[in-house]
Amino acid sequence: MKYFSPENFDFIINDPVGRLILYYVIGSEAIGMGIIWVLVKRAT
């Protein structure tokens, strides 16, 4: 991302709002993977 879109990378890394967005995305991914893991575990 740093090489394809340096403006967006700088926003995510340096701006406080961008940092919140980054944490939200990481948290959402983790929660989603956890839900999928639980569903797969129940199905087997």
Angle at 18 between CA 32 and CA 1, to 5 degrees: 75
Residue 31 covered by a domain = yes
Q: Does any domain span residue 39?
A: yes
pTM above 0.95, yes or no: no
15 sits in the region (left: phi over 0; alpha: psi -120 to 50; else beta) called: beta
The answer to whether residue 1 is domain-embedded is: no
Looking at residue 2, its pLDDT comes to 82
User: What is the total count of domains within the chain?
Assistant: 1
Q: Answer whether residue 23 is part of any domain.
A: yes
Residue 22: per-residue pLDDT: 96
Is residue 14 assigned to a domain? yes
What are the per-10-residue average pLDDT scores of the chain (44 residues)? 89 95 98 98 88
